Structure 1
């Protein structure tokens, strides 16, 4: 026997697939399907059921349906509402669709049926039993994880001891998509059906377990939130009963602070809105704390609260003189500011930038100015600041948001017109978080800072009455637009005499008190103090000098505490006992005039220094060597110098072939120290000409200035420090560019005393002074 062809009425199903051996039902509403059912009832009650591939397809044709369906026996027909007919059927066997026969009233199908013996797969009993038990175990796991469906499913699977019937019943009852059930129907063997059903059960069990775990987590969170809410509400009621409601008391406190706040109506209106918002979100700990912090910040800010400045010029002058020796320019500028404030009864506060080497007292000047004016003092260190939010503040949407440093400083001061020190403004940098120096442009612009917007405060804050004083070591690292907004005041290096006064009048007394001594218990002679300044420190400021005095005080304190003596007397002979060997020795002038050796003057970060330049000329091939770790600027100066000498060679009887037959070597000792800057041009040119012409250079002459190819002398900077270095080294005559004459006029008589300063415009004048003993003093 083989396959049987049979013509049966057909119904195309949407979204459902029936498996053989299962009683099920489906609903129909189209006339074609109803007529097909009626035709089957009039014949032998058998009908062919097949499913369309896409549920959305209307008027499905043969290519839109699966090829495998089932032949089912109609058991009952029930008429429902809205012309819907429910058909209860029992699926008998699988059948393959050959083709549809479409008639006007109904749809028929020619189907291929396989005889029972052809489809029966013979499995060994033990294999079939193993498959059945595996499916039963997996079904039990599924039912356990999905108790709603599992209860009914277990009932239907009970008593099924044949693998085929188990697969048919469970496959037909499980809540599956029609695609999976169609796959089960189309399986061509019992083994294939087993594998498909096992795969479905494993997948559905895992899905259900994950779903249960997720539901459990969500339920726990909801339960926890509900529990916290209930407990919070209970606490609220208990506090209300006891009269201890925190939120109510906070709101009351905010409202009281708002009434006392000195601010504009717009600010007060904004704070009122935030208090109302706080009432609404008080039960939410996260949002409530953010709003609370914002309200507290707004209430703490001194919107219209000011301190009264002390405009007494005599008092301010006295305080500045008591706290600092020298610094005439700074003191003069502060007194001018006070005078203007007194006349204008207010006015814009200047933005001053004190520029100078470390240890020269820039920060302490700002503190003294605050004391002289009776202003609140706030110090903001900008060294290393990279984030723009440090200046402008964070937006409140971020976790841990806070105002910028300026607003925090104003809040700390408690008044809107403090003195704010912007320390190390030259050491700000930028990265991916923004450029803080750009944010500072608004802060330090008197036209803009009256309405400074901080991202956290989110309202204009008036910074126009803040007296800003910035400090910097090097103005070259400050961006040009920022530098343009500040008034620069140079705090230059101290002379040895100034250091002596500072040490005696300020540092010694300060260190004696800091180390627990009485003034009469320690005496340091003037000679010893001079020795400390020159032999144990080399700096522009007085920071190391104070450390050395502190070192002596500590050793004296130990001697007195141990009872070795009642007081300590330190002169220059005993310095080695307290401070060890001298660390620095002054580079004194040479004893006699020498050929090819000239003393130049250089500026360093710790003050001025003398630079001895040596030149040797030897037979060779015209090579030109530079040693001593010179920078690009100094190398170019040397090249310009040799070009100038070659151009005037005839005036000094230098043979034309001299530069092709001789090597010239320029060396600046202390090669480990990098040297650069536009101030050694005339010095190198003089040394080279001296070595070439064999004419000695005066040992008591030092010089500074840049040279051009035509021998013009160009101006330079750092004259005060350079003259100090020359004086310390015992130099008697100094050549400086004529264009620097105005700078020399500003240098104190104390430094210029004993120095013959020659102003030079051209190289010929320099050579005349250095090599012939002539002068050009103006």
Structure 2
């Protein structure tokens, strides 16, 4: 009997000890179960209302189970679920683990959007939404066509590069479109990390099928994602990252393209944005063209859109004033050429080439900034008493300075053939210094493409013959007088067209660039001359008078 009493006493002590050690969570669970039982008796439970009686962690576990995780990811998730079940919800570690599991559950591991490969519809959509950009449209149609024929295709990684202002599948799937806007502005090597280093693996088609970042630490397939990057310049993009992308260059718009974009998109957008009806702002094509030519001069259309917004605001003011005065019927919706000066002020840009008088020693060249912006470049030469020194000004780089030295050397060595010297051994600059200046001195200039322009400027200076102000040229020149090809042809030609140039002299080997890249309308408006040697350039550029051209004797070609 004593033994049994002793056993009972020990049992009571154990029971009371266990009861005293019940955790707060266990007591809460017990009370919640009692509350649920009471609600069921009262008919107020979630189950009776058609809801789910699962707590948040049960729902999260179900989402993870329905996510169809790969084997490796499923093992990690089960381990984290067991771990979080042993943690207190009030602890920071519980919150971190739950956020991690939420991220894993949200990822579209095996969820894809339906591929609708309708080539005709895609062409119609591209033509309707975007004017020009033929190369970009062609590449998109190529991708869709190959995907339709093959049925499976690794998505390309495309980078559109162009000047500022040159202008999807849904998210939640593993084959979306990712737009990496202005990737050339990426921050490099900060104490927060290097985004470019992370993108190296993301944008590598050979590695991104099992990409793992430092947070999830799980391999995720990114090979079905179509990455599209944009940039204004390639200069700041790391070489390793650039090597992983298919670069497509976008060029600046011609005035014809700007006119179409303004008529179809920009003007209707601004009219609607200012609360006006389409018939309350009427602008003819000559007026739109005047706005584009005289009030904006850019590769894109952002400034053009802002200028059209100013016109719309001016018409709003006119309409509001008449409406308050009770004379709304007197409102004139038409914007004429004469109205532009009162609305926008004096024209900011003029076709300065056409306004310049031709002067010996002054020649118009073509420049390219490297970011898609072309422009005209004036070269002025002058001579003065001196000792044959060459002075160069205008914020010039080493390459363009070397081009000037080559140009002067060629002119000196061919002075007799050019009829600038009376004998073959005469030094035409023996008693003169030569000064070559590139206006817009605050703008840095470099590159070899001003070679033929420098030669022509020097020959014009010494001979007294001039180059018409509507003639421009570009091309590298060798020491033997050969004209070598240069880059940025489309941008240079389009900018010359904007500036009123009527004749352009180009290297013969750049002929294909004109045929392929320059818009047909520009080709029709400009006379192109393709030169193989400096003699071809001089013959096409120099004139003695309005009716007489400079024509060298063909025997001079032997001096090459």
- Secondary structure of the 2:55 match is helix
Measure, in 2, the Cα distance between the counterparts of 1:733 and 1:628. 25
Aligned residues: 500
1:517 maps to 2:276? yes
1:249 maps to 2:55? yes
Query: What is the correspondence of 1:97-246 to structure 2 with a 5 Å cutoff?
Result: 235=28, 237-243=30-36
1:289 to 79, 86, 95: 95
1:651 — aligned with what?
417
Cα distance change on mapping 1:554 and 1:606 into 2, 3 Å: farther
TM-fit CA distance, 1:627: 1.8
Gaps of 5+ in 1: 1-228, 362-369, 377-412
2:536 — aligned with what?
765
TM-fit CA distance, 1:250: 2.0
Measure, in 1, the Cα distance between the counterparts of 2:338 and 2:176. 49
Task: Tell me if the contact between 1:424 and 1:472 (Cα under 8 Å) persists in the aligned partners.
Answer: yes
TM-fit CA distance, 1:637: 1.5
- Secondary structure of the 2:430 match is helix
Task: Tell me if the contact between 2:89 and 2:95 (Cα under 8 Å) persists in the aligned partners.
Answer: no
- Secondary structure of the 1:468 match is strand
Task: Tell me if the contact between 2:448 and 2:475 (Cα under 8 Å) persists in the aligned partners.
Answer: yes
Task: Tell me if the contact between 2:353 and 2:470 (Cα under 8 Å) persists in the aligned partners.
Answer: no
1:589 maps to 2:344? no
TM-fit CA distance, 1:240: 4.6
Task: Tell me if the contact between 2:380 and 2:457 (Cα under 8 Å) persists in the aligned partners.
Answer: yes
2:520 — aligned with what?
749
2:488 — aligned with what?
718
Cα distance change on mapping 1:240 and 1:631 into 2, 3 Å: farther
- Secondary structure of the 2:542 match is helix
Q: Deviations over 1:559-598 (max 9, x none)?
A: 3344164563211111122222211112123665431111
Q: Deviations over 1:419-455 (max 9, x none)?
A: 1111111122322434322321211111111111111
- Secondary structure of the 2:352 match is coil
1:261 maps to 2:74? no
Task: Tell me if the contact between 2:353 and 2:469 (Cα under 8 Å) persists in the aligned partners.
Answer: no
2:314 to 540, 555, 559: 555
TM-fit CA distance, 1:692: 2.2
1:622 maps to 2:380? no
- Secondary structure of the 2:158 match is strand
1:730 to 497, 500, 525: 500
1:534 maps to 2:327? no
1:311 maps to 2:117? yes
Q: Deviations over 1:131-158 (max 9, x none)?
A: xxxxxxxxxxxxxxxxxxxxxxxxxxxx
CA RMSD of aligned residues (A): 2.5
Cα distance change on mapping 1:579 and 1:231 into 2, 3 Å: farther
- Secondary structure of the 2:187 match is coil
Task: Tell me if the contact between 2:380 and 2:436 (Cα under 8 Å) persists in the aligned partners.
Answer: yes
Gaps of 5+ in 2: 1-21, 37-44, 47-51, 544-548, 553-560
Cα distance change on mapping 1:507 and 1:681 into 2, 3 Å: same
TM-score calculated relative to the size of structure 2:
0.84
Cα distance change on mapping 1:550 and 1:238 into 2, 3 Å: farther
2:186 — aligned with what?
428
Structure with greater contact order relative to length (CA < 8 Å, sep ≥ 6): 2
TM-fit CA distance, 1:238: 4.0
- Secondary structure of the 1:696 match is coil
TM-fit CA distance, 1:672: 2.9
TM-fit CA distance, 1:247: 13
Measure, in 2, the Cα distance between the counterparts of 1:547 and 1:616. 42
Task: Tell me if the contact between 2:251 and 2:372 (Cα under 8 Å) persists in the aligned partners.
Answer: no
2:224 — aligned with what?
465
TM-fit CA distance, 1:618: 1.5
Measure, in 2, the Cα distance between the counterparts of 1:567 and 1:236. 77
Measure, in 1, the Cα distance between the counterparts of 2:54 and 2:253. 62
Measure, in 2, the Cα distance between the counterparts of 1:445 and 1:548. 42
**Structure that is richer in strand per residue:** 1
Measure, in 1, the Cα distance between the counterparts of 2:334 and 2:195. 52
User: After alignment, is 499-508 or 726-735 more displaced?
Assistant: 726-735
Cα distance change on mapping 1:702 and 1:775 into 2, 3 Å: farther
TM-fit CA distance, 1:327: 0.7
1:571 to 331, 336, 342: 336
TM-fit CA distance, 1:774: 7.1
